[in-house]
Structure 1
Amino acid sequence: MADRTSSSISVAAGRGAIMAVIADLGAYPSWASGIKSIEVGDTYPDGRAKDARLTFDGGPFSDTVDLVYTWDGDAAVHWELVGKGAVVTGLHGSYTLAEGPDATEVTYELAVDVRVPMIGMVKRKGEKRIIDSALKGLKRHVEG
C-alpha cells in the first residue's frame, strides 16, 4: 500500500473546532457523502474513538470495515484497517491540520487496497473522489 492519494482544503476555523467535527464520528453520515453509518466501539479517556465500524459507499469502494484510530491532539488523526471487509483488504487514512492566521489547512490522505484487481488509475480516482467529497463536506459543515 505504497501509493497514497492526498488533497487539502482551507477551512475558516481553528484546529480545535475542525478536529471536534472530525472526532464526532457518529455525525459523519450527516455531512460526509458516502458514509452510510459509523458505530464507535471503545473510546479514549477524552471521548475520541479508539475503534469503529464504518459502512461506506465510495463509488468503486463500498463495504463495511473495522478501523482503529490514533489521535495527535488537534493536529492529526490516523486510522487503519483492522477488520477486512468483503471488498476492502487494506486502508490507511489521515487528516492533518495546519492552523494559519486566517484559516486551517486540512490535508486528507487515503490509501485503499481491494480484493478485486483494479488499475492503479481507477483506484486513485476512487480515493480522490472519497477525499474531495469528505473535505468539501467538512468545510461546509464547519463553516456553515
Structure 2
Amino acid sequence: MADRTSSSTSIKAERPEIMAVIADLEAYPSWASGIREFTVEETGEDGRPLRARLTFDGGPFSDTVGLAYEWQGDESVTWTLVDKGNVVTGLHGSYTLAEAGGGTEVTYELAVDVRVPMIGMVKRKAEKRIIDSALKGLKRHVES
C-alpha cells in the first residue's frame, strides 16, 4: 500500500475546532457523504476514539471495517485498518492540520486496497473522489 492519494483545503477555523469535528466520528453521517454509520468502540483518556467501526456506501462498493486511530494533539490523526471488510483489505488515512493565514490548511491522505483487482489509475481516482468529498463536507460543516 505504498501509493497514497492526497488533497488539501483551507478552512476558516482554528485547528482545535476542526480536530473536534474530525474526532466526532459518530457525527460523520450528517456531513460526510458515503458514510452510513460510525460506531466508536474504544476511546483514549482524552475522549478521542482509538477504535471504531465504519460502514460506508462507496459507489459500487459498500462495506464495514474496523479502524484504529492515533492522535497527535490538534496537528494530525492517522487511522489504519484492523478488521477487514468484505471488499476493503487495506486502508491507511490521515488528516494533517497546519495553521495558514487566518485559517487552517487541512490535508487528507488515503490509501485503500480492495479485494477486486483494480488498476492503479482507477484506484487513485476513487481515492481522490473520497478525499475531495470528505474535505468539502468537512469545510462546509466547520464553516457553517
Q: TM-score higher than 0.5 here?
A: yes
TM-score (norm 1): 0.98
Q: CA–CA distance in 1 between the matches of 2:5 and 2:57?
A: 18
Aligned to 2:118: 118
The one-letter code of the counterpart of 1:30 is S
Quick check: 56-65 or 25-34, which moved more? 56-65
For residues 97-116 of structure 1, what are the structure 2 equivalents within 5 Å?
97-116=97-116
Quick one: percent identity of the two aligned structures? Answer: 76
1:74-133: per-residue Cα shift (whole Å, max 9, x none)?
000000000000000000000000012311000000000001100111111110110000
2:32 maps to what in 1?
32
RMSD value, Cα: 0.8
Question: Is 1:85–2:96 an aligned residue pair?
Answer: no
Detail structure 1 runs of 4+ shifted over 4 Å in the superposition.
none
Unaligned runs of 5+ in 1: none
Q: Distance in 1 between matches of 2:87 and 2:26?
A: 23
Query: Which residue matches 1:94?
Result: 94
Q: Number of matched residues?
A: 144
* Cα distance change on mapping 1:54 and 1:46 into 2, 3 Å: same
The structure carrying a bigger strand percent of its residues is: 2
SS in 2 for 1:36: strand
Q: TM-score normalised to the size of structure 2?
A: 0.98
Could you say what secondary structure the match of 2:80 adopts?
strand
Correspondence for 1:73:
73
The gaps in structure 2 that reach 5 residues or longer are none
Query: Partner of 1:50: helix, strand, or coil?
Result: strand
Q: What residue in structure 1 maps to residue 130 of structure 2?
A: 130
Structure 1 residue 59: Cα displacement: 2.2
